[in-house]
Amino acid sequence: MKTVLVGVTGCVAIYKTCEIIRGFQKAGLRAKVVMTESATHFINPTLFRALTREPVAVGLFDDRPGDPIHHISLSKEADLFLIAPCTANVIAKLANGIADDLLTTTALATTAPIVIAPAMNVNMYQNVATQQNMATLRERGVAFVDADSGYLACGDMGKGRLADPEVIVKAVLDMLAVKRDLVGKRVLITAGPTVEPIDAVRFISNPSSGKTGFALAEAARDRGAHVTLVTGPVALEDPEGVETLRVKTACEMFEAVDARFDESDIAVFTAAVSDFRPAEPASRKLKKGTDDESLKTIALVENPDILATMASRKRTGQVVVGFAAETDDVEANARKKLESKKADYIVANYVGDGKAFGTEENEVMLVSSDSSEKLPLMAKGDMAQALLDRIN
């Protein structure tokens, strides 16, 4: 998840920053706030802390155990530093390299892109000093979201009003190359393993970590989709902004997917579902070396085929994607699965030799009825974006 550091300065337009932060959160971005002392006279930092669920930085010498150089740690967290609203005073400081508070020292220290959304009186905005300071910053690569014209808080008319929050949010998303091509779409994703009980303590499962499915859920959320994630038992936290349903067995996963499949536009089945389950799991722990012969021979029955069942009833325009874990003849085996399951795509994982399961990276082949494409080894988050680029 990308982080936008939001700098807030002392200006009446500060109330619009709340809308800007919500816009970032809806886009799947993490927002963290740094305020000038003047800004705290307009809004208490507690409001921003409540909105972002993050500590709000104000004082250059705030007592932060374990973080003695706060402006440096803040500058390194940011993928982009937005200052909105930004007063003429702060613009002047930044243009002249003055760093006398936490916000300006952080701005001087960061290597992330900086975006400034100015807000001030029309005469202050048009003053030659302000215009020259903004020109200086533009020459240094600082981006501006220009102020709007209209009725100002002071009663004057003219240019100087903070740009509309939606315009500011869009400018930041564009700079971060955040795609929003799934707005209005519903995406259903399965992830992780399933667990099939043998008795009260033993089960049949596999080493799937769920990381690929979770990465896809976060990527689809960031691109504007309403995402439902159905996951087996994994050691991962529920992704923020994603409807997450936790199940254990293949039958439970089938029921959860069955109830939600028809309303989805894209369904991606990454879960490593157990093919079989014990026919009669015991409610107690079976003891070896006793008369519990059932431990020696476990009768199995086949689990429901979630991918094949859902793909068989997909409607026109609905996209179904399955995953396949393969150790050899990857493309051939993926194509067989594509045909037998009636899916639109099969993503074939190269597994074995420490690949795929539980790792932070993956190497896959995307197979459709008329094409195949091998994606190189990459981080699962990057792979999720690459797959969505091709699937959408």
Q: Catalogue the active-site residues.
A: 154
Helix (H, G, I), strand (E, B) or coil at 339: helix
The residue written with tokens 């989805």 in the block is 264
Name the pairing type of β-strands 319-326 and 266-269. Answer: parallel
Give the H/E segment covering residue 267. Answer: strand 266-269
Do residues 101 and 37 touch, judged by C-beta distance below 8 A? yes
Rounded CA gap, 283 and 199, in Å?
A: 6
Contact 327, 358 (CB under 8 A): no
Helix then strand then coil, in percent of the chain rounded to 5, is 35, 25, 40
Tell me the pairing of strands 361-367 and 345-350: antiparallel
Contact assessment for residue 151 and residue 12, using Cβ atoms and an 8 Å cutoff: no
**From residue 4, how far is each of 33, 222, 247 by CA, in Å?**
9, 14, 34
How many angstroms separate the CA atoms of 314 and 343, rounded? 9
Q: Cβ contacts of residue 383 below 8 Å, gap of 6+?
A: 212, 215, 361, 362, 364, 375
My answer on whether omega of the bond before 45 falls inside 30° of 0, hence cis, is no
DSSP for 170-220?
A: HHHHHHTT---TTTT-EEEEEESB--EESSSS-EE-----SHHHHHHHHHH
User: Amino acid identity of 296?
Assistant: K
Of the candidates 37, 314, 349, the residue with the CA atom closest to the CA atom of residue 213 = 349
